[in-house]
Amino acid sequence: GCGGEKAGTEGSKDSGGGGDTIKIGANLELSGAVASYGQGIAEGIDLAVEEINNSGGVDGKKIEIIKVDNKSDAAEATNAAIKLTNQDKVTAIIGAATSGNSVAQAQIANDNKTILLSPSGTSPNVTVGTNGKVNEFVFRTSFIDPFQGTVAANFAAGDLNIKNAAIYADNASDYAKGLAASFKETFEAAGGKVVSEESYVAKDTDFRSTLTRIKSANPEFIFIPGYYEEVGLIIKQAREMGITVPFMGADGWDSPILVDLAGAEALNNTFLTNHYSAQDPDETIQKFVTSFSKKYSGKSPDAFNALGYDSVYFLVDAMKRAGDTSDATKIKDALAETKDLSLVTGVVTVDEFHNPIKSATVLEHKDGKQVFKSKVNP
Amino acid sequence: MEWIQQLINGISLGSIYALIALGYTMVYGIIKLINFAHGEVFMIGAFVGFYAIAGWGLGFFPALLLAMAVCAIFGVLIERIAYRRLRNATRIAALITAIGLSLLIQYVVIYFRGAQPEAYPDALSNKTFDLFGVQISSQSILILSVSIVLMILLQFIVHRTKIGKAMRAVSHDMDAARLMGINVNTTISATFAIGSALAGAAGVFFGVYYTKIEPLMGIIPGLKAFVAAVLGGIGIIPGAMVGGLVLGVVETIVSALGYSLWRDAAAFIILILILLFRPSGIFGKNAREKV
Amino acid sequence: MGSMPLLQVRNTGIQFGGLKAVSNVNMEIHRGELIGLIGPNGAGKTTCFNLLTGVYVPTEGSIEFDGQKLNGLAPYQVTRKGISRTFQNIRLFNELSVLDNVKVAYHSLAKHSIISSILRLPSHFSGEKEMEEKSIEFLKIFNLDKYKDEAAKNLPYGQQRRLEIARALAAGPRLLLLDEPAAGMNPQETHELMELIAFVRKKFDLTILLIEHDMNLVMGICERIYVLDHGQLIAQGTPEDIRNHPKVIEAYLGEEVTNSHA
Amino acid sequence: MKKVKGFWLFLILSIVLYVTVQLLINAGILNQFYSNTLIFIGINIILAVSLHLVIGITGQFSIGHAGFLAVGAYISAIFTMKLQLPFPIAILVGGIIAALAGLIVGIPSLRLKGDYLAIATLGFAEIIRIVFLNIDYVGGAAGMQVSHLTNWTYTFICLFITIVVIMNFTNSRHGRACISVRENEIAADAMGINTVYYKVIAFALGSFFAGIAGGLYAHNFYIIQPTNFGFLKSFDILIYVVLGGLGSLSGAVISAILLTLVSTFLQDYPETRMIIYSLVLVIVMLYRPQGLMGTREITDIFGKWKSVKSVKGGS
Amino acid sequence: MLKVDQLDVFYGNIHALKGVSLDVQEGEIVTLIGANGAGKSTLLKTLSGLLKPKNGTIQYLSNTIAGKPAQEIVKAGISHVPEGRRVFSNMTVEENLELGAFLRKDSKEIQKDIQKVYTTFPRLLERRKQLSGTLSGGEQQMLAMGRAIMAKPKLLLLDEPSMGLAPLMVKTIFEIIEDINRGGTTILLVEQNAHMALSVANRAYVIETGRVTVSGTAAELQASEEIKNAYLGGH
Ligand SMILES: Nc1ncnc2c1ncn2[C@@H]1O[C@H](COP(=O)(O)OP(=O)(O)OP(=O)(O)O)[C@@H](O)[C@H]1O
Ligand SMILES: Nc1ncnc2c1ncn2[C@@H]1O[C@H](COP(=O)(O)OP(=O)(O)OP(=O)(O)O)[C@@H](O)[C@H]1O
Ligand SMILES: [Mg+2]
Ligand SMILES: [Mg+2]
């Protein structure tokens, strides 16, 4: 449960006023269709806040997280953002887990001069409005979709020497669609051919019919941008159907549950690009993994946990550099100037579109373990 | 070959729908309540089975029985606490209560264990048979057989046994049933027990077959099962079976044609078309009110 | 007049599955008549009404009302042609007030459009006012005006039956079909009902066809009677003819009723 | 006569409400949070009242209202964002297209009853959603970004029109015809009511206003996505209507207000939010299965106070 | 056999029965007459356990049955033919009859009794496989009676059995009532057709707006001017 960790944050609420606490909103999908993503981020946030507060806070001020549930709904996300900015008067909002619910708040953040930091909204639209202008107050912790797609395509065409690939994307997520598009572009540019393009919709459980179609197109490789919940099932069902070619995906795959869902054996010969790897011996990462599983009774962190965690540190770093914990304008400038900040999910430098330039890691599954394959810089 | 494979895919998918729809249709048949919480009982069944297998190391069949028993009790409790009071209320009030209950169960489960999915352990070995290039998994054969057996069993219970007759009497006129000496409360409890046990069983089978379970897993299959039940003629037990299979095959064919994104839409279009020509479902008797 | 009957039923019938509920029925009803339709239970009387009012589409024969064919018309169209009815098992609009029950029936006689109602144009107010006045008139006839704001379901049974008749009248029929209007009434109440039927018939210049098992009522007010048995007409004639018709006695009346006890 | 007076009273109260809120917004006393909550309440009331016409008045068990909301939202967004037309026109067109969708959905209602109709309407709503999901012109799954144009004035005008139209419709021979369909379709038919016509009208009118609500919705939340219009959204609207009391317009209004407030208030308790919300729902239904207002209207309650004596004396 | 004392029954806050007392002796036919809405059906429903009384006692044989659930009262031998027939409309005629014998275990006897019902009501035999919802009103009434007989009751409560029946059928029904009574079943009969009711009954009670106002032997009531005027259509 997540009832326990509230005490710490609420304690500081009593000490009142804006003076000695830093109010940060968390506008997350805590219920509704993608509740598991929002909850994953919340866990990461809670851990980070606990660590920071226990070590004295930021400039002596404790962080107070005001968590709001947006029910995985854009309208609710808007409401929640308005509440956080107008009522709670937070300095920054972390959220939301999905791009759509992040976009829903972008305008409000700009209008109210409040930072919006989306932990996992990977669509380019989050930080850049439809008019092509950068949303002044909006940032993100994750890299954007096209980057990962490119990395995956280069890996397939180069390292694996694939000529014919199939793409099987989650059509309910712009994340997956974005990845699919950039994969296709890069892959074809590298001389490959996409022989089959299929889609599924999040929450599907039976993929056999489409897999049968893909199988008859005879690809040498299948790119599956999507989230682990479905990907696990897809890989399992595909292997059962005798599809033995390599699969590849992106950070959405990253969860310890993927191994359980697909089965260790089925996962052999599959690859993913990721923000980080829990197996990575890197010190920051291992420290995070240890304290996370300590706090959450042995659970191993996934990408959402890590991004939630990083979002807090990302923000705190900017606050420290801005020398001010409440002036959002100064903080956003500091955020925009972030350079070589070492986080769990990579070393971050923010570009002109408010997107972090981070390296991506390519991992391979071997007997249920992620094995580090290569690191790709942008 | 590909098409035979697809047909088999469709039948396996459909038999899962059918399995859930059986309990749905049974409860509906007796008390005319769209028990939206049925999907949640299904979810509870899946989790009970999961904890039984992964936590206590029970085998598949003991876990299945345990899940069915827990769900039977759970279903009876739901009826006792929430629906009994509403016997004389409008059906729509009962429907809203069912929706509320289904949300409540989902979020209580999330409160206690979070929303993240869980992977079902391999409790039931799965072999894939290769017949002339067509793959059939032993699990899907099992599920299909289980749903057929359960359908026959249910049909027998409802139409041939005393409790079944009592159920049908209660479904038509509760007061008149009382006057026949039928204990209406017991009968309805029995209905919920059986229907919920079926949902529990479906949950465990679903878990084993699809591996992934999570607190919101009941929503979509619940809805699909409801559609299947309506398609076949809600309240009619063989209808649930046929409705489930039709739905499964239609969805598969649509995906097989490359329109997987339109799969659900196609399922609903078929549903609406069938209803337009057979307003009470495939097997439903269009019993018009006698004037 | 005389020549053309108001209602002409020719060889009409309907089949449910294998069961011929009504077959080969011929009826001819003239303006202003008050006709009884009797017969054993399950003879097909209510089914006849359903055929006449478009609830069922006849599988054979034809029905003409005022020279126009009714076959295939929807019930509401039949009503608008001038036939309205009551039901064997009362079908009021339970949650609506007594007054509104009658207003609904007056609906098709009013003319104000949806637009006028939404915009509250003068035609809406005048139309609604007319409906209200007319409806109250009908209620007064049936002595129901004091219950006008009561929900129909709260009326005692006898009043509900009367309200059904009032409602049927408000639809502006020329032919009124009453299905067992006296069912569940005691003799005293039945007697009052007979007087009422006679009264409205005169006042609204109605033709009435009624189904009833209460022989006091049927023999007391009907001018002619049709007798159905097993879906077929077995007799027709004046009450006197019917009372002594052997087939009717055998199938329906039984011996003693002939020497009436009332 | 009495009704006419009631109308003027209603009008005056409405104007007072509008002006007061607008002044408070202008004065900055109501910040964006409050005004946004008011707008959200307004949208939900429009949805509730429009569905009330279909279910509460006409008795057609429709559980796919979010489909019409979606049509209104997307169509109006296309008009403002892609075709650069003025917002009021976009709202209106959204309503009209939604009404057309309502006409289409109304057609099965001619043949289907009760639960069969319910599942068919739900199916239609899902089909509509999936159509938008698959149209790249409106952004597919990613959705469509929409400028924020909705404000208190637009919301209030739409809300006012919705309530007045539906109230006036209901309190006329046409509304009574709809109610008679709900109460007893066979009898209504036998009384000369074209039941088919009124069912379709109810669907079309209900959908029209749901479409209007969609226009406001789309331009209030910066982004619309197909996921916003799933069947759970339809259930939310259904809950307003049933919780308020089937057949009671003021009940629908009151419960839309209450539930929106409850939901907003519960944002602060994310862990237990849905638990509390669903508990409230279940408990209210268990203890007041007829809904908060039953079939009564607010005005009846005031009326009852006055006439309580005469009724008692009468019986 | 049955003794009702000071019974008060409410529908919500409608006081439907106000201190009703009456008794029925073993082997009798007792009839209840009264205008529409007097509370006759309410009384029967209370006796058979469909309604729970607020106050008062119901003594049946040597047990109090007030407020007991219906199925126990049926078990004790009281069978109720409700107003409006209430047959199980989506079940066949035969299934309805079988349900009448729900609490009985003697399946051979049950089959025999079904045949007996068919001899009494030949029309039901003709329609035995028809869904009872499509029967005509009279046919349904026969079915409801037949169904109640199937329970082999000691006390049979009949609510307006002649309603909607053809004259010949009314006669038949009353003959059957007397027949059943001769077979040893005590009968409490509610009727609008007071004339017929009084002619078969031993004793009668008149109920007006929830109260017993008159009681006596059937002959006494038949002779009373007042009763004649109010309930027998005495003109
Ligand atoms: N929809 C239907 N389906 C099948 N059979 C029907 C249907 N409607 C009526 N019947 C049958 O047709 C016959 C005539 O029924 P109807 O209701 O017309 O009788 P009735 O003369 O009105 O009898 P009563 O006096 O008892 O009301 C009955 O045997 C009945 O079972
Ligand atoms: N379900 C109910 N809810 C509220 N009031 C009821 C209900 N049933 C009956 N009543 C009222 O109780 C009183 C007695 O009704 P009851 O049905 O017992 O009368 P009855 O003597 O059987 O009349 P009838 O001859 O019409 O059958 C009536 O005033 C009636 O309106
Ligand atoms: Mg009849
Ligand atoms: Mg009665």
Strand pairing class (A341-343; A346-350): antiparallel
pLDDT band at A373 (very low <50, low <70, confident <90, very high): confident
Using the beta-carbon criterion (under 8 Å), do A31 and B214 form an inter-chain contact?
A: no
Please give the CATH topology (third level) of the domain spanning B2-277: ABC transporter involved in vitamin B12 uptake, BtuC (1.10.3470)
Q: How far apart are CA A7 and CA A13, in angstroms?
A: 10
Indicate whether residue C119 lines ligand 1 (CB < 6 A): no
Question: What is the arithmetic mean of pLDDT over D217-242?
Answer: 91
Distance from CA of E228 to the nearest CA of C (A): 9
Query: What is the reported pLDDT for D304?
Result: 53
Interface subset of D 164-193, CB within 8 angstroms of C: 165, 168-169, 172-177, 179-180, 183-184, 186-193
> Measured between CA atoms, how close is D42 to chain C, in angstroms?
21
Assign A351 to helix, strand or coil: coil
D105, pLDDT greater than 60 = yes
Which A-chain residues 79-118 have CB contacts (< 8 A) with chain D? 79-80, 82-83, 85-87, 99-100, 103-108, 111-112
Would an 8 Å CB–CB cutoff place C101 in contact with chain B?
A: no
Q: In whole angstroms, what is the distance from residue A79 CA to residue A91 CA?
A: 17
Query: What distance in Å separates the CA atoms of residue C204 and residue C173, rounded to the nearest whole number?
Result: 9
Task: Report the b/e string of D89-119 with b at 16+ CB within 10 A.
Answer: ebbbbbbbbbbbbbeebbbbbebbbebbbbb
Cα E130 to its chain centre, rounded Å, is 25
Tell me phi and psi for residue C21, to 5 degrees.
-70, -35
Superfamily designation of domain C7-96+172-253: P-loop containing nucleotide triphosphate hydrolases (3.40.50.300)
Residue nearest to atom 29 of ligand 2 (CA): E37
Write down the residue that tokens 């005293």 correspond to. C188
Whether chain C has a CB inside 8 Å of the CB on E160: the answer is yes
| Chains E and A touch each other (3 or more Cβ pairs < 8 A) | no
Strand B128-131 to strand A356-357: parallel, antiparallel, or no bridges (unpaired)? unpaired
pLDDT band (50, 70, 90) for residue B284: confident
Handedness of CA E91, E94, E97, E98 (dihedral sign): negative
Phi and psi angles of residue B131, each rounded to the nearest 5 degrees, phi first = -110, 110
SS3 call for D26? helix
CB of D279 less than 8 A from some CB of B: yes
Q: How far apart are CA B110 and CA B107, in angstroms?
A: 5
DSSP H/E element including A194: strand A193-200
Q: D1 is written with which tokens?
A: 């006569």
Using CA coordinates, name the residue in chain B closest to C86: B291
Subunit partners of chain A (3 or more CB pairs within 8 A): B, D
Residue of B nearest to D133 (CA): B261
Considering every ligand atom, which ligand is closest to the CA of C39?
1
Please identify, by atom number, the ligand 1 atom nearest to the C-alpha of residue E135: 31
From the list A31, A83, A108, the residue facing D274 with the nearest CB is A31
Chain C residues with beta carbon closer than 8 angstroms to that of D5:
none
Q: Position D184: which residue type?
A: N
For residue A336, is the peptide bond before it cis, meaning its omega torsion is within 30 degrees of 0?
no
Residue partners of C171: CB distance under 8 A and separation at least 6: C79, C84, C105, C106, C108, C109, D191, D192
User: Whose structure tokens read 């591996």?
Assistant: B211
Other CB atoms within 10 Å distance of the CB of residue A323: 11
β-bridge partners, A356: A350
D201 Cβ under 8 Å from any chain C Cβ:
yes
Give the residue ranges of DSSP H helices in chain B.
2-31, 38-50, 60-78, 91-113, 138-160, 162-172, 174-179, 184-210, 219-232, 237-256, 263-277
Mean pLDDT for the stretch of residues D219-245: 91
Res B249: pLDDT: 93
- The pLDDT of C195-221, averaged and rounded, is 92
What percentage of chain D reaches a pLDDT higher than 70?
93
Helix residue ranges, H only, E105-166:
107-120, 122-126, 137-149
- The Cα–Cα gap between A347 and A341 comes to 5
Residue to test with chain B: of E42, E90, E105, most B Cβ within 10 A: E90
From chain D, the residues in CB contact with B34 under 8 A are 115, 118
The answer to whether residue C179 neighbours chain D at the CB level (below 8 Å) is no
The predicted pLDDT at position A11 comes to: 37
pLDDT digits (tens, 9 = 90+) for D122-161: 999 999 999 999 898 998 888 888 989 999 999 999 999 9
pLDDT greater at residue D165 or residue C154: D165
B160 pLDDT exceeds 50?
yes
Ligand closest to Cα of E138 equals 1
Q: Are the CB atoms for C90 and E36 separated by under 8 Å?
A: no
For A282-331, what is each residue's pLDDT tens digit?
A: 888 899 999 999 999 888 888 889 999 999 999 999 999 998 888 889 99
- Distances E219 to B17, B261, E189 between C-alpha atoms, Å: 68, 81, 16
For the cut 60, the answer to whether the pLDDT of residue D177 exceeds it is: yes
DSSP secondary-structure letter at A128? B
Distance, in Å, from the CA atom of E9 to the CA atom of C189, rounded to the nearest integer, reads 26
Sign of torsion over alpha carbons C116, C117, C120, C124: positive
Question: Which residue's alpha carbon is at the smallest distance from atom 29 of ligand 1?
Answer: C42
Q: Which residues in C lie closer than 8 A to residue E231 (C-beta atoms)?
A: 186-188
User: D273: distance to nearest CA of chain A, Å?
Assistant: 8
CB of C88 within 6 A of ligand 1: the answer is: yes
Q: Cβ contacts (< 8 Å) between D314 and chain C: which residues?
A: 146
Asked if the C-beta of D285 comes within 8 angstroms of chain B's C-beta atoms, the answer is yes
Is residue A239 within 8 A of residue A183, CB to CB? The reply is no
Contacts of D139 in chain A (CB under 8 A): 174
Pair of tokens at residue D293: 């207002």
Q: At what angle do helices B138-160 and B184-210 cross, to 10 degrees?
A: 170
- Distance separating alpha carbons of residues C251 and B265, to the nearest angstrom: 59
Task: In whole angstroms, give the CA distance from residue A59 to residue A222.
Answer: 50
List the domain boundaries for chain B.
2-277
Pick the CATH number of E2-85+155-231 from 3.40.50.300, 3.30.465.10, 3.30.420.480, 3.40.718.10: 3.40.50.300
Sorted by where each begins, the domain ranges of chain E are 2-85+155-231
* Residues D237 and D122 sit within 8 Å (Cβ to Cβ): no
Assess C157–E contact: CB distance below 8 Å, yes or no.
yes
Question: Is the predicted pLDDT of residue A342 greater than 80, yes or no?
Answer: yes
Question: What confidence tier does D26 reach under pLDDT thresholds 50, 70, 90?
Answer: confident
- Domain range annotation of chain C: 7-96+172-253
d(CA E143, CA E138): 9
CB neighbours (10 Å) of residue C198?
14
Distance from CA of B191 to the nearest CA of A (A): 29
Q: Per residue in E168-210, pLDDT tens?
A: 888 888 888 898 899 889 999 998 888 888 999 999 999 988 8
Q: What pLDDT does residue D302 have?
A: 64
Residue A85 has pLDDT above 50, yes or no: yes
Cα–Cα distance measured from residue A345 to residue A356, given in angstroms and rounded to the nearest whole number: 11
- Averaged pLDDT for residues C161-171: 92
Q: Measure E5 CA to nearest chain C CA, in Å.
A: 26
Q: Does position A10 have pLDDT exceeding 70, yes or no? A: no
What is the per-residue pLDDT across C109-119, written as a single tens digit (0 to 9) for each?
A: 888 999 999 99
Q: Is D1 on the interface with C (CB under 8 A)?
A: no
Using CA coordinates, name the residue in chain D closest to C150: D311
**What does the DSSP assignment read for C205-225?**
T-EEEEE-S-HHHHHHH-SEE
Q: What is the pLDDT at residue B151?
A: 92
Query: Which residues of chain A make contact with D140, given a CB cutoff of 8 A?
Result: 171, 174, 177
Six-digit token string for B58: 């029970």
Which residue from E140, E139, E165 is spatially nearest to C252, judged by alpha carbons? E165
- The residue written with tokens 């959405």 in the block is A252
Average pLDDT (A46-65) is: 92
Q: Mean pLDDT, chain D, as a whole number?
A: 88
| pLDDT, tens digit, 9 for 90 and up, residues E202-213 | 999 999 888 999
Burial D44-58 (b: 16+ CB within 10 A, else e): bbbbbbbbbbbbbbb
Do D237 and D214 touch, CB atoms closer than 8 A?
no
Shortest-distance ligand to the CA of residue E39: 2
Over the range E72-103, which residues count as b (16 or more CB within 10 Å of their CB) and which as e?
ebbebbbbbbbbbbbbbbbbebbbbbbbbbbe
Taking only the tens place, the pLDDT of each residue in B38-96 is 999 999 999 999 999 999 999 999 999 999 999 999 999 999 999 998 888 888 888 88
Shortest Cα–Cα distance, A214 to chain B (Å): 10
Q: For residue D4, what pLDDT is reported?
A: 60
Helix (H, G, I), strand (E, B) or coil at B220: helix
Asked if B259 reaches chain D (Cβ–Cβ under 8 Å), the answer is: no
**What is the per-residue pLDDT for A13?**
37
Distance E163 CA to ligand 4 centre (A): 10
C-beta of residue D223 within 8 angstroms of C-beta of residue D184:
no
What mean pLDDT is predicted for residues B187-214?
93
Q: Which of B262, B268, B279 sits opposite D111 (nearest CB)?
A: B279
Residue E75 has φ and ψ, to the nearest 5°, of -60, -35
Q: Does A174 touch chain D (CB under 8 A)?
A: yes
Q: Does D275 contact chain A (CB < 8 Å)?
A: no
User: Which amino acid type is present at position D82?
Assistant: K
* Residue C37 to residue B242: CA distance in whole angstroms: 47
Tell the residue nearest (CA) to atom 16 of ligand 1. Answer: C44
Average pLDDT of the segment spanning B255-284: 87
Give the residues surrounding ligand 2 with Cβ less than 6 Å away: C 156-157, 184; E 11, 14, 16, 34, 36-42, 83
Strands (E), chain C: 7-16, 19-29, 34-38, 60-65, 68-69, 83-85, 175-179, 207-211, 224-229, 232-237
Query: Which pLDDT tens digit goes with each residue over B109-138?
Result: 999 988 888 889 887 777 877 777 777 888
